Structure 1
């Protein structure tokens, strides 16, 4: 890939209102927060690695986190970080996409591809289609990597994706390899146990299905519009802290792998934008 830089809207900013409430008196207040969007840079490397480990969860040691974060930093055409303290500040969120076909010989892509194949192998149609994408005439797959601090407002997500779509189009105009037909999204969720105390037998049976809680609100829309999706157990969970979202209800952490077409991804972002505005 040719080394190029297309200047992003460095210092572009968006103001969002966040709402907080007090458990003591139900009073709520709004606070305006000014976020800035920047290209990923070398100074962000440590924080990006931390966010990637958070994204992959307990299985992060199975992935070449350092290699992936290096690729994110090295890409000068696509990707954004969100900060509050200027360009020198730490990223609070990031979004980028890696061409799994173009970088297929990179060790970090080999490892995450192998990881994905291990987790989707129980879904034969998904597995076969994923493998076909790496044959000579198969469509290009973009690996979307996106993570943020837990208290980041959901409103930054549509803005980041809209920037990404714009940058991908710019890259295609420059004949760069960012023409993706499908995207793979790795994320995480948890399953909340239903409190069945005092429920009648018939109702217990009806509510036996556990509720899925998504760490990223947008993932629920992505799954609804996905071509394929898999929810999987982590391989490296060794104790309660690895599998528990809440010690009181022992909700179980789990991974999510979503394959979605480029058209459906744009639909999902538009739907999310409408939902939160």
Structure 2
């Protein structure tokens, strides 16, 4: 089935040093050719790029893209990402994929329909016979998955989460699959400093986890159960390996959170305040 556009969001990727670099390069016009070539290469790397994204209904054509994003979340965990992707596609009345709105004809991209991110909610209790051990039907749990490439700006998350909440409400009104969930289970990509020093007065170093998807910290604040586990041994360097923030080496983790569904309105309010500043 063809994918239909749902909502559009604009993302801007920029390097804050770009304007300074540009000014410096102009003032050094007399530099030798080798330095000019180096500066030109650096300018290309730091180039500001405006990208227009669209949210589409998830379709069978998105199988590889969705599966790839699930793999960057679960890494080597014992999760059948192919079967999970099939479930996400079958339940395409809930959830969206992010694609570039218009791909130029001269683009080098091999796949103009590349999936840059997606969001969905799978009712785990409803599917307890499909590789799931949660069987308390009185309080169903939904797996909330929101994945995207690391260079896709967080502003894209707000319209996606709003769209998802509207689709869930519509599914409940029309008795479509994906009944109301009492809890949402989230697994987020996080990291912390690799060489955290011990405080001068003794005691264990404070664990400060950074969320790769920054907006997911608001879900963490509302979670009633949460824990972290290391994926250092499972991490593929091209997916989540040797991260660094401001030249500080980081260790990759996954953070598991259980959030009551009735706390979603408060989370959406926080998201709106944070992502519309």
TM-score w.r.t. length of structure 1? 0.75
RMSD, aligned α-carbons: 3.3
Partners of 1:99 and 1:178 within 8 A in 2: yes
2:118 match: 94
Residues 210 and 257 of structure 1, relative CA distance in 2, 3 Å threshold: closer
Residues 200 and 83 of structure 1, relative CA distance in 2, 3 Å threshold: closer
1:269 and 2:268 aligned:
yes
1:126 match: none
Partners of 1:78 and 1:164 within 8 A in 2: yes
Aligned length: 241
Deviation of 1:78 (Å): 0.3
How many Å separate the matches in 1 of 2:52 and 2:234? 40
Residues 13-92 of structure 1 aligned to structure 2 (within 5 Å): 13-22=8-17, 25=20, 32-59=50-77, 62-85=78-101, 89-92=113-116
Q: Secondary structure at the match of 2:191?
A: strand
Residues 161-240 of structure 1 aligned to structure 2 (within 5 Å): 161-176=161-176, 177-193=178-194, 196=197, 201-202=200-201, 205=202, 208-234=205-231, 237=233
TM-score w.r.t. length of structure 2? 0.75
How many Å separate the matches in 2 of 1:238 and 1:94? 23
Deviation of 1:190 (Å): 1.0
How many Å separate the matches in 2 of 1:186 and 1:238? 15
> Which one has the largest radius of gyration?
2
How many Å separate the matches in 2 of 1:13 and 1:67? 29
Partners of 1:83 and 1:89 within 8 A in 2: yes
Q: Secondary structure at the match of 1:44?
A: helix
How many Å separate the matches in 1 of 2:13 and 2:272? 16
**Which structure has the highest helix share of the two?**
1
Q: Secondary structure at the match of 1:50?
A: helix
Gaps of 5+ in 2: 23-45, 104-111
Partners of 1:36 and 1:83 within 8 A in 2: yes
